[in-house]
Each structure stands twice: as C-alpha cells, then as structure tokens.
Amino acid sequence: MAVQTSINPAVIKRTKSGKINIKSGNKIDLVVKWTLWILTLLTILAFFFFNYTGLQIERAFTETLYNLRVMFLEPALSHFSWAEAFYQVAVTLGLGVLATIFGAIIAFFLALMAAENLSKPWLSKTVRIFVAFIRAVPTVLWVLIFAIAAGLGSEAAVLGMLFHSVAYLVKAFSESIEEVDPGILEALRATGSNWWHIVVHGVLPSTFTYLLSWTFLRFEINFSVAVAMGAAAGAGGIGFELFMASGFYFDLREVGLITYLILIIAIILEFISTKLKDRYFPSTVKN
C-alpha cells in the first residue's frame, strides 16, 4: 500500500542559493500558539487581581459540596406538581420544535439561493453575507431584540431562535447542496430539466439525509437555548421554573430535580439522534 505524504507549502522556503529550507510551523500555527499563550497568561494574572476580602476557602469548599449534595442527592418538587413539571418540559420542547421546523423550511429555500452550483454568484454571495451577519449575533441578543419589539413571551423566544436557526441551517444546507455530484446536475440540465425539476429530482434525493441530520442537530441546540430563554425572555417552560427555583425560591432540591429533567430530555434527544444516524447514515466501512 502506497503511503502518501504531504508537506504544507507554507513551511517550504527556497533560499537565494537554491537550497530548500523547511521550517516547522507556519504563520497560522504561530498566531494560534501565541494567542493560547497570551490567554493562558492573562487567565493566571487575573487571579492576582481578584478581591479575596472575606473569602474563606475551606468554608466555601464545604458549602459548595453541601449544596451539590442537596441538589443532586435530595431532588424534590416543592412549588409545583409533577403534572405541571412535565407540562413545562413540553412547553420548552414546543418552543424548540417551532423554531426548528419553521427555521428548516425557510433555510432550505434560502440555501438553494446560497448554493453556488444552483444560484448566480451575486445572489449566492448576497444571501451568504446576510445570514453571516445574523449568525454573528448570539441567539440571546436576537431574543432580547424581539422581546423589545413584541414583548416578553414565547413569541419573542421563537422569533429569536428562528432567526439564528435560519442563519445556521442556511450555511449547513448550502454546503450539503454544493456537495452534490456535478454529473447529476449536468445530466438533468442536458435533458432540458428546469431549475425546480433539478432541485426536486437531483438535489433532494442526494442531500435529504444530510438535511435531516442538520435539522435534528439544530433542534438539540434550540432545546438548550429554549431552557435559557424561558427565563431571559419570559417564555415560560422548564427554564423559567429553573430560574424561579434558583433565583427566587432558593430551593436547591427543586433546582436539582429540574436539572435531572433537562438532562433526561437531552439524553433522549441524543438517543434519537443516534438512531437516526444509524438509520440514514449506515456505516459503509466494514472490517
């Protein structure tokens, strides 16, 4: 078996005498390395500027262990029933589902315009720049912006998550569409197929599994965001109950139980995601 090796051309320099001088690393590696060193140094220096007045390390450590023990070893509901707890979990899931479904539908059509193999260059660049701007703004900021416009509630949370979901999925979908075999598209064009016929019979069959996988991945992200937005945007759900238990009631047992509920949902979503991958992405490599 032939072993192929490659040398980064950025690290190869030819001297005036004609000899090749090979240096380890390149400019990108140096920038990354120095950035990590500087961040590490600043982190260490920050500990010397903290205000440690009144801090008792031994007492803080003991109380932290006690709080963790109460949270995770003595979970209990105090301010709402089990039925209401499951209802609030369903509300949080509903927020994630709405943002993901509407986001995936809108993102698919925008991705068709952003894909370079299906769209004109000027249109593709315009869509990419637009979604890059949306994606650069964190989801929580979009939620707060819509909370100012539409008021606190589930509407602001869904709109904020929807905005960021569209930008995220447009990038993922368009890159998947660009991976379609050019031969398939050329064959359809040669038979006189119009643009929409090419999308339906050439793009969708080749990319459906990838689109489904990206959509479910975004749903997992939206569920986590919906938990946080339950308190930040007043959207309700289990996130709001977590905020009330920790910041209003100071009930560590209830915080622990809500954390367990969120963790169980996250595990279930990961299990479903794994099953979908096994179903639609079976391994093609066999030992």
pLDDT at 2: 47
Q: How far is CA 224 from CA 93, 101, 154, 213, in A?
A: 9, 16, 15, 17
Structure tokens at 219: 């749903």
Confidence at residue 4, expressed as pLDDT on a 0 to 100 scale:
47
Please tell me the pTM assigned to this model: 0.74
Q: What are phi and psi of 13, to 5 degrees?
A: -130, 140
Q: 43-52 pLDDT, tens per residue?
A: 999 888 888 7
Would the pLDDT of 282 be above 60?
A: no
Tokens at residue 101, please? 């479904």
- Structure tokens belonging to residue 189: 């064009």
Count H helices and E strands in the chain, helices first. 11, 2
pLDDT tens-digit series, residues 236-276: 788 888 888 888 888 889 988 998 989 999 888 888 877 77
Rg (CA), the chain: 26
